[in-house]
Amino acid sequence: MKVLLHVSEESKFKVAQANAKNLLKEDNNLEIAIVLNSDAVKVMTNNSLTLINDVKYYVCNNAITTYNINIDNLPEKALITNSGVYKILKLQSEGYYYIKS
């Protein structure tokens, strides 16, 4: 099963992380993607941020540009996607179940 967690608010990122961890406790075979857009992308500049190994993190380049974020300041694990909303549509078309965080 594939799960997509959508985060558009910086304050909701911890909830998405907790949801991902809880989902993996239930089924460690899940494919989990977290898509960050809008001001949620700012959380990725936190140097003390711990990302989950088995989760893919997609970060919206449109929001990166809007918030003047230097991509060199993003974690290595961050996968930049041109448009976060398009990535959400693409993942849903690939069978990911959508959850808004």
What whole-number distance in Å separates Cα of residue 62 and Cα of residue 44? 14
Residue 64 pLDDT: 98
DSSP for 38-68 reads: GGGGGGGG-TT----TTEEEEEEHHHHHHTT
- For residue range 85-99, list pLDDT tens digits in order: 999 999 999 999 999
Q: Please state the pTM of the whole predicted model.
A: 0.96
Q: Name which CATH class applies to 2-100.
A: alpha beta
Q: Cα torsion for 34, 37, 42, 45, to the nearest 10°?
A: 50
Query: Any idea which residue has 């993942």 for tokens?
Result: 91
Per-residue pLDDT, averaged over 26-49, amounts to 96
Where do the domains of the chain lie?
A: 2-100
Q: What was the pLDDT predicted at 47?
A: 86
